Structure 1
Amino acid sequence: MRNHRNQNRSGSGGGASSYASPRARASILLFFIGLVSILSLFSLDLSSDNTETTERGYSENEIRILQAQLDKLKRDLVQQKTERLKAELVFHRNMHTIEAMIGSHGTLDEVKNMVSNIKADAEIETVEGKEKIDLMELSRREELEERSRRRRPYAHSDSHSERERRMFEIAKKAERSRNDETMFKEKLESPFLNDDKLNNAKTKQYIDSQPPNAKGFPVVLLTYNRPERLNTTLGSLLKVRGIVKEKVLGVQDGTIESVTNVLRYRRVLINKRIETPMDRKRVTLKNGKIDGGAKIAMHYGYSLRKAFETFPDAPAIVVIEDDFLFSPDFMEFFVSVAPTVETDDTLWIASAWNDNGFQENVNVKDHSKILRTDQFPGLGWMLLRSIWTEISQNWPANQWDWYMRNPLTSKWRDCVYPEVPRDFHTGTRGTFMDADTHKKYFDRIRYNTDANFRWSPNVYKEVRVGNYEKSFVETLKSSVHVTEGWQLEVPSDIPLVVWYVQNPHPSQEKSVKPLMERFGIWHQLMRGSRQGVHEFWYRNKKVIFINTYNPPKMSHEKMKKQLWFWGYRKQTKWISYKPKGIPVFKPMDLLYQMKQPLPKDVSLEPNFAGVDVKITAASKDQTGESCSTVCVSKHLSCNAKYLPLINNCDTLKEYFNCKKCTESVGGDQPNFVSEEGDSCLVNSDPSYFSCEGHFYSARRLCPCM
């Protein structure tokens, strides 16, 4: 008002006539002072009548004022936090633009660290902001308490003890937040591999020391445009023993927001591949269509490079895609075989996938079997940093998986994989996938779901090339070598070896595809094989399928081109173990024999005709022993082929005092269990017949020879 009057005065040019006399101004001033005094007394009377004090000595009006102030502070803090998070989002979206500006070298890691710091700072500032609110609330409360004590000296307060308690809680929250920030920023190390070559003792000592929940290698997950499957995959992955979110990097091909949201929801690390005009040109065909193989190869090369940059101390990474399910021991498999993959010069990759791991083609009783193959399986695999350095120099512009399968890339080294797969492929739609292909080759895969399974500490020894081949030779020597096709159609507890000859070139697939379909495995002969050898199960018996094909001699350059298909340069070295007189089958001839009626003297069910089988009952002292042990005590051997013939109540009653006889399921049957009321148990599932089965309170009935 004073300014307004001054402006009026300057506008009128000044003059005494514009103002009242000093005496009049003094009278007006006294009048207003008196009026204000009367109103003040009146308001005090009203407040004394209408306001009640609280037990702590301050009025409800003061509480409302305080609450309003606190609410305003909280709203301001939320607004500041929202603006800060918006700024972070904008920065995150522009991160790859910045990356393109600064190039793939130099300060890219600094840009990522800036994003990480923004996230961590946002969390810290949120906690600190709440601390400020809590402290301001306490300070105001103490001030009101002090005013209350001045008005009511007899009132007591525990504000100091409350302040100490609240300060302690706030300090704990801040400390937890700072610890989380440190964990988020620190470099993640993987101690499972050493820089130096491991000797056997050191490797064994290390693996034996690993706890069941030991953390494994960093995981890089490639994703594109399937947010629902991505969410399912991450949900399954994060349940795997040894997986931590801070060591999972999701590499997104593009910027689809729904895919990014899933990665954020699962709180894994995120990296996006932004396609440049040059990239677009490279993956576009002359007809304007996108070359899916080229686009995938580019995404894979980018993702593998970014994974090793993101985890600079990791000696290896595990590579997966966005349409997998995982076994509980998925990571433990890689941890178990990693020392051998690193130190065995004949190995270069470990994969959790078995191309022929179908329900009918694996041993459902044994989840610990590990095999070798000279063709890259993919679909959940471990890549050493040293191997990436080796293969990244010539990373292909297209068909990256066939580049990995080329023997000139692998340098004749093997991959190790479990007979029972440790992951499952769920995607029915993709660049090279449709529903029919998935149903035929992927839907029947049997992957491990047993959460109680643990890998043996010595598994790394079993896959070393010397031990692996020694075990294989022993199996060849103790197996039955097939002479007629019908032998593959009857039960057998002993592995069967089939010698055959077939050119593995894709142009010759028609000759072998019907036979492979009969067995239920891939018609592409290189899948799952090593040096011409397939190992799989057919009708509950193990089959070893050995290809004796001998490539023709040709020039070096022509041979290099053919290697892509053949996978080997010479005839399998296992040909020297073929017994004399054993035939080498052509696929179509073998299939024809398998389809023929069985000879009259042969039955699908085994019989004792012409066979010296002694039915032997375990004694009381042999309670809990297997049939193998029982037969050995008689200087004989057990043959599970004849277990079905004694798997009935009448035979059991001849050897045991059975008060009752019931059907059950188990590899320890047929047997007699005295603890269950002298019961005899008959096995109702033929797939469980075994000479090795045993139960602590059971006495077995055994076919000994």
Structure 2
Amino acid sequence: MRIRRTFFIGFSLVIWLLIIYVTVVNRQITLTDGNEDVNNRLLKLEEGIAEQYKLNKHFINDLHTVIEAKKQAAVVDNEIEVHTRKEFKGTVIPVLVLACNRVSVSRCLDQLIQYRPNPDQFPIIVSQDCNHQETTDVINRYGSQILLIQQPDQSDIDVPPKEKKFKGYFKIARHYGWALNQTFFNFNFETVIIVEDDLDVAPDFFEYFLGTYPLLIKDPYLWCISAWNDNGKLGLVDEKKPELLYRTDFFPGLGWMLTKSLWIELCSKWPRAYWDDWIRQPEQRKDRACIRPEISRTRTFGKIGVSNGLFFEKHLKYIKLNEVFVPFTKMNLSYLMKDIYDNELIRTVYQSAVVSYQELKDDKIAYDGPVRIIYHTKDAFKRTAKLLGLMDDFRSGVPRTGYRGIVTFHYKGRTVYLAPNMNWKGYELSWS
């Protein structure tokens, strides 16, 4: 692109020189004295042409120098990009599988082992809580294909009387904290992908995380990469565009990648329970975002758990798991960097036509392209979200998949934005 721009500049310069040249010639052949000898006029013309030739040669040499410098710069940029890709491709990113008492952890492990491109680059660490022997036996069958570590603290947890039935959430938070400490401080890894034992993974699961890893490292306004789309149900995603990725202010979890530097920030204040809602609070998020896919790269099959199947029957079991391999490591994902992404999103969303839910539902929109449904209040959002089949809850004021208050989804063949006014001032904690 830069080379073509340089040639355009060069071409324009040549045209400009030709104009000067013609002007000089015309000036030289203009009769300034009707009695001037023809030989004198020819001599002056020859001198002018010679001088212009020297001038042209000088500019052409400079032009060649500029073009060559641009070529070399392009080569250097390409070498840097190639070097960066090679560097990131060689990065070791372990997968930390959090297990407890599900013997079905084998379903998750089988897929991880089947799809990982390189066991040295993606070692699998299974961290088991609960001292459930049957699950331990299943994990041990994988031998050297995985590394098993076991949470040593199996003591009872003191839980407030009103939260006795939520004791499982306290144990999960304790396990998460211990397992991440082991991964980052004992094994000394710099990055980790966290997977729970009830997740299916897509064929391009590893490619997705490896391709987005540079974004997580380069963009200070990102703090996680997630494989999950909270609104990723059939009918709400564009199945023809599995390569689509988005920024989101909502922490999705369910297969996510974080760095050691983030864990150092969080570990000293890690909560006793409800870690996922805690991490969504503004004090932890600090206006940072995550990357999430159009089509999920994970899907939960764990109907039974500490949440007692909350959301599973109504929502989670309908999540679409990606089946098409997308070569993310070969794609230019710079459009996801904050400045580029924000400008394009705002322009696209607020130039789109405003429609009502009924018009969208009845397919009575006479034009192509994305459309926008506006919400002004929490109740208006929840009402519209329910009608559309979207998740309608908030965490710390942020709707699921929301970015700058905008929830993007696919409906009846078009992109739809459920969006606040353009003068949006930020999330309201009272909407939680």
- Please, what TM-score do these two structures have when normalized by structure 2? 0.73
Pair 1:445-2:319 in alignment:
yes
Pair 1:301-2:181 in alignment:
no
Contact kept in structure 1, 2:212 and 2:328, CA below 8 Å: no
Pair 1:528-2:401 in alignment:
yes
1:536 & 1:272 partners in 2: Cα distance? 40
Contact kept in structure 2, 1:218 and 1:317, CA below 8 Å: yes
Q: Structure 1: state its 5+ residue gaps.
A: 1-198, 554-558, 568-705
- Counterpart in 2 of 1:169? none
- Counterpart in 1 of 2:50? none
- Counterpart in 1 of 2:149? 271
1:376 & 1:287 partners in 2: Cα distance? 24
Q: What SS is found at the alignment partner of 1:440?
A: coil
Q: What SS is found at the alignment partner of 1:360?
A: coil
Shift of 1:207: 5.5
- Counterpart in 1 of 2:6? none
**How do 1:329-408 residues align onto structure 2 when only pairs under 5 Å count?**
329-408=204-283
**How do 1:483-522 residues align onto structure 2 when only pairs under 5 Å count?**
485-487=358-360, 489-490=362-363, 493-503=368-378, 512-522=381-391
Say if 1:340 and 1:512 are closer, same or farther in 2 by CA, change over 3 A: closer
Pair 1:261-2:137 in alignment:
yes
Choose the corresponding residue for 1:461, options 320, 331, 334. Answer: 334
Shift of 1:260: 1.1
Shift of 1:484: 7.9
Contact kept in structure 1, 2:157 and 2:167, CA below 8 Å: no
Shift of 1:457: 2.8
Tell me the amino acid that sits aligned with residue 454 of structure 1: P
Say if 1:303 and 1:243 are closer, same or farther in 2 by CA, change over 3 A: farther
Q: Structure 2: state its 5+ residue gaps.
A: 1-75
Q: What SS is found at the alignment partner of 1:420?
A: coil
- Counterpart in 2 of 1:178? none
Runs of 4+ aligned structure 1 residues displaced above 6 Å come to 199-203, 549-553
1:484 & 1:273 partners in 2: Cα distance? 50
Tell me the amino acid that sits aligned with residue 266 of structure 1: Y
- Counterpart in 2 of 1:236? 111
2:250 & 2:371 partners in 1: Cα distance? 24
2:263 & 2:231 partners in 1: Cα distance? 27
Shift of 1:304: 1.0
Say if 1:292 and 1:285 are closer, same or farther in 2 by CA, change over 3 A: farther
The higher relative CO (CA closer than 8 Å, separation ≥ 6) is in 2
Shift of 1:480: 2.1
Contact kept in structure 2, 1:216 and 1:331, CA below 8 Å: no
Say if 1:305 and 1:243 are closer, same or farther in 2 by CA, change over 3 A: farther
Shift of 1:208: 4.5
1:326 & 1:533 partners in 2: Cα distance? 27
1:306 & 1:404 partners in 2: Cα distance? 20
Say if 1:336 and 1:287 are closer, same or farther in 2 by CA, change over 3 A: closer
Q: 1:183-209 CA distances to partner (integer Å, 9 max, x unpaired)?
A: xxxxxxxxxxxxxxxx98677324554
1:539 & 1:319 partners in 2: Cα distance? 34
1:393 & 1:202 partners in 2: Cα distance? 41
1:455 & 1:428 partners in 2: Cα distance? 31
- Counterpart in 2 of 1:205? 82
1:377 & 1:289 partners in 2: Cα distance? 24
Q: What SS is found at the alignment partner of 2:220?
A: coil
Tell me the amino acid that sits aligned with residue 464 of structure 1: M
Contact kept in structure 2, 1:207 and 1:336, CA below 8 Å: no
Say if 1:207 and 1:520 are closer, same or farther in 2 by CA, change over 3 A: farther
Shift of 1:515: 2.2
Tell me the amino acid that sits aligned with residue 527 of structure 1: R
Say if 1:290 and 1:527 are closer, same or farther in 2 by CA, change over 3 A: closer
Say if 1:250 and 1:437 are closer, same or farther in 2 by CA, change over 3 A: same
Pair 1:225-2:101 in alignment:
yes
Q: 1:618-652 CA distances to partner (integer Å, 9 max, x unpaired)?
A: xxxxxxxxxxxxxxxxxxxxxxxxxxxxxxxxxxx
Q: What SS is found at the alignment partner of 1:545?
A: strand
- Counterpart in 2 of 1:543? 416
1:202 & 1:392 partners in 2: Cα distance? 38
- Counterpart in 2 of 1:96? none
- Counterpart in 2 of 1:422? 297
Shift of 1:494: 0.8
Q: 1:493-531 CA distances to partner (integer Å, 9 max, x unpaired)?
A: 31001222113xxxx5xx544421221110115110011
Say if 1:238 and 1:285 are closer, same or farther in 2 by CA, change over 3 A: farther
**Equivalent residues, number:** 348
Say if 1:258 and 1:276 are closer, same or farther in 2 by CA, change over 3 A: closer
Tell me the amino acid that sits aligned with residue 324 of structure 2: D
Q: What SS is found at the alignment partner of 1:417?
A: strand
Contact kept in structure 2, 1:216 and 1:332, CA below 8 Å: no
Q: 1:670-699 CA distances to partner (integer Å, 9 max, x unpaired)?
A: xxxxxxxxxxxxxxxxxxxxxxxxxxxxxx
Q: What SS is found at the alignment partner of 1:437?
A: coil
- Please, what TM-score do these two structures have when normalized by structure 1? 0.46
**How do 1:22-421 residues align onto structure 2 when only pairs under 5 Å count?**
204-206=81-83, 208-209=85-86, 217-227=93-103, 229-242=104-117, 244=119, 247-267=123-143, 268-277=146-155, 280-283=156-159, 285=161, 291-312=167-188, 314-421=189-296
2:341 & 2:166 partners in 1: Cα distance? 44
1:207 & 1:232 partners in 2: Cα distance? 34
Q: 1:360-402 CA distances to partner (integer Å, 9 max, x unpaired)?
A: 1111111111111111100000010100000111000111001
Say if 1:408 and 1:234 are closer, same or farther in 2 by CA, change over 3 A: same
- Counterpart in 2 of 1:665? none
Tell me the amino acid that sits aligned with residue 413 of structure 2: N
2:207 & 2:333 partners in 1: Cα distance? 12
Tell me the amino acid that sits aligned with residue 308 of structure 1: F
Contact kept in structure 1, 2:130 and 2:154, CA below 8 Å: no
1:288 & 1:328 partners in 2: Cα distance? 40
Shift of 1:541: 1.5
2:350 & 2:154 partners in 1: Cα distance? 59
Contact kept in structure 2, 1:339 and 1:460, CA below 8 Å: no
1:356 & 1:238 partners in 2: Cα distance? 28
Contact kept in structure 1, 2:157 and 2:171, CA below 8 Å: no
Contact kept in structure 1, 2:242 and 2:324, CA below 8 Å: no
1:332 & 1:520 partners in 2: Cα distance? 30
Contact kept in structure 2, 1:285 and 1:291, CA below 8 Å: no
Say if 1:487 and 1:233 are closer, same or farther in 2 by CA, change over 3 A: closer
- Structure with larger Rg: 1
Q: What SS is found at the alignment partner of 1:238?
A: helix
Shift of 1:483: 6.4
